[in-house]
Amino acid sequence: MSTALIFSGQGAQSVGMGKDLAEKYPVCAELYAKADDVIGYELSKICFEGPDEELTKSNHCQPAIFVTSVACAKALEAESAAPEAIAMAGLSLGEWTALHMAGVLSFEDTVKVLEARGRFMQEACDEQAGGMVSIIGLAREQLDAICAETGVTVANLNSSAQTVLSGAKAGIEQAEALATEAGAKRAIILNVAGAFHSPLMASAATKLDEVLAGITFNEPTVPVLSNVKGEPHAGADAIRANMISQVTDSVLWLSCVEWLQAQGVDRYVECGPGKVLTGLIKRIAKGATLDNVNDVVSVEKALQSG
């Protein structure tokens, strides 16, 4: 069985995440303590106790999900049964987790980058009112026509059936109405702070570029799928450029999973809170073995299925 490790994106967070892992596994407790030191406040307390309004702030949420996702992977390693992954991938901020796990960035640098990335993205949201809408059941040509009419853009190509559009708030509201008129099975405006993965995030990309200039990027030990390319990163220099583009460009998740399928991957282990990615993969890679690792119980289940 060929395995890929995949990592959660923003929106998967929940108060209490990682708490039982930190209590059972010293290596996980050390990760949270290290993150607290790096970030300068008790990120661990926000993860374990909330409140929810603090955890959902992008500058807290992004490093919090990263640390929790790494803790999930390290819990598997602590049981001496971590799957040997032939590739890694993550959705949006989850791609940063994949890069760390593949040896591209240090733990400390990734925490710093994601705190800054979350802060910059929130600032961009505050600058311009934006939103996102998830659409199920329309063809790409129909979606392109909606984008052309409303001025919004494709943010996420999640599966052949599900696409997320992003843009100015008025354009998103218009896009929802047009998608419904066009016969979409579902068109739902998402509860997000702004227009992620769209040109409205340009200021965040510029600020992130400045931060990444001082970060060391190494060559990955295993292929890591690029959200913006839909195929593995070419190398350390390309990774830096791709991760800046990722802030404003479309996330090609469908292409990433199709690439993994072509390499013979038939088991996907999602590390981190939530089950969003395995839910998407279930619709793309039918028949694949899917595991979620997000707490002590799910670690035990993953060990059994592995």
**How many angstroms separate the CA atoms of 29 and 22, rounded?**
4
Alpha-carbon distances of 169 from 129, 136, 165, rounded to whole Å: 6, 19, 11
User: Annotated catalytic residue: which of 8, 100, 166, 197?
Assistant: 197
197 is catalytic: yes
Task: Give the length of the chain.
Answer: 306
Is 216 in a helix, a strand, or coil? Answer: coil
Helix (H) or strand (E) holding 253: helix 253-262
User: Annotated catalytic residue: which of 44, 58, 92, 198?
Assistant: 92
**How many angstroms separate the CA atoms of 190 and 192, rounded?**
6
Q: Per DSSP, which regions of the chain are E strands? A: 2-7, 85-90, 130-136, 153-157, 162-168, 186-189, 265-271, 289-293
Q: What is the DSSP letter of 223?
A: -
The tokens describing 147, both together, are 């984008």
Q: Would you say 271 and 293 are in contact if contact means Cβ atoms under 8 Å apart?
A: yes
Concatenate the DSSP letters of all residues of 38-95 into one string: HHTS-HHHHHHH--HHHHTSHHHHHHHHHHHHHHHHHHHHHTT----EEEEEESTHHH
In degrees and rounded to multiples of 5, residue 305 shows phi and psi of -75, -25
Q: How many helices (H) and strands (E) does the chain have?
A: 14, 8
160 is catalytic: no
The residues carrying an active-site annotation are: 92, 197
